[in-house]
């Protein structure tokens, strides 16, 4: 996967376009996302945690296989309602080596940075009068915002882990009458969450609780994933437990009549 640093002298006359076909990601079943995307993701995809080098990361599920994304069709088109921000940052990245500053670069094989003249109106100049063009500056700003929010998201995951609110998720799926467990997934520990929000001695961090509730409420979306397969059924106890837990959270919010909790759950309790 060649990554090419952007240099004024080399790319002065180059153009770029947005990534339209996502074949590059078709064999990646987990999609990373940031906390700012939560309200978009929670109504469309099951939210899961994965563990990398003993640290938890936030993802949403696009299939029951680690090397398959069912929301990308054979043409490479995204067929979901919401295109994740990580895909929209492409093809640009800020690769970082040890003890070195990040340098803006692009993934060459995605074919979104073009050196020749193009009649495609979607192509925009990288540079304008020797400086980054306005469209490119807007793109860079979006990438920087996403990267900053991803760092915040990783911190929230770390805080959830420190509070012992993340647990293994032995997700069971039946493929043509054969039981299979989807490995490597983690979720919010429902019982621990109730204990946590009932503990009067603990300050409830807004973003931490939003993510905890969001993961729990997103479990219904497992049915959307199953619907994309033929001959697949779910262990429905997982979804039923999630619904029961949701009822407890809403009941807690009503009992406390807490504006803080109301703000946290108001966009997350819909079945849509």
- Nearest Cα residue to 84 out of 63, 60, 107, 51: 60
- Nearest Cα residue to 216 out of 266, 157, 162, 268: 268
Q: How many percent of the chain have pLDDT more than 90?
A: 60
Q: Which residue blocks in 90-231 are alpha helix, DSSP H?
A: 134-162, 190-198, 206-217, 222-226
pLDDT digits (tens, 9 = 90+) for 11-40: 998 999 999 999 999 999 999 999 999 999
The mean pLDDT value of the chain amounts to 85
Average pLDDT over residues 212-237: 81
pLDDT given at position 238: 57
Apex 178 CA angle, 176 and 180, nearest 5: 115
Apex 57 CA angle, 105 and 44, nearest 5: 95
Which of 80-94, 119-133, 190-204 has maximum average pLDDT?
Answer: 80-94
Structure tokens at 230: 């033929």
Residues 6+ apart with CB under 8 A from 147: 94
Is the link from the previous residue into 100 a cis peptide, with omega within 30 of 0? no
pLDDT given at position 252: 53
pLDDT given at position 271: 36
pTM here?
A: 0.83
């Amino acid at each position: 996967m060649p990554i090419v640093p952007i240099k004024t002298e080399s790319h002065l006359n180059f153009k770029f376009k947005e990534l339209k076909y996502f074949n590059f990601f078709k064999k990646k079943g987990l999609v990373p996302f940031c906390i700012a995307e939560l309200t978009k993701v929670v109504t469309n995809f099951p939210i899961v945690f994965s563990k990398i080098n003993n640290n938890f990361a936030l993802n949403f599920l696009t299939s029951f296989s680690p090397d398959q994304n069912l929301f990308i069709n054979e043409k490479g088109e995204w067929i979901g309602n919401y295109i994740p921000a990580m895909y929209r940052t492409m093809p640009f990245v800020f690769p970082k080596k040890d003890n070195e500053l990040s340098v803006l670069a692009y993934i060459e094989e995605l074919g979104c940075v073009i050196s020749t003249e193009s009649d495609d109106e979607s192509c925009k100049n990288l540079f304008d009068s020797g400086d980054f063009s306005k469209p490119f500056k807007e793109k860079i700003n979006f990438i920087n915002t996403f990267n900053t929010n991803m760092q915040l998201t990783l911190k929230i995951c770390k805080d959830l882990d420190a509070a012992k609110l993340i647990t293994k998720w032995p997700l069971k799926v039946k493929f043509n009458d054969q039981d299979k467990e989807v490995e490597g997934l983690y979720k919010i520990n429902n019982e621990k969450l109730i204990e946590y929000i009932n503990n009067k001695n603990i300050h409830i961090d807004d973003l931490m609780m939003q993510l905890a509730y969001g993961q729990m409420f997103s479990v219904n979306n497992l049915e959307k994933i199953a619907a994309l397969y033929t001959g697949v059924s779910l262990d429905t106890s997982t979804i039923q437990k999630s619904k029961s837990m949701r009822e407890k959270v809403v009941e807690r919010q009503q009992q406390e009549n807490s504006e803080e909790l109301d703000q946290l759950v108001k966009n997350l309790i819909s079945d849509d």
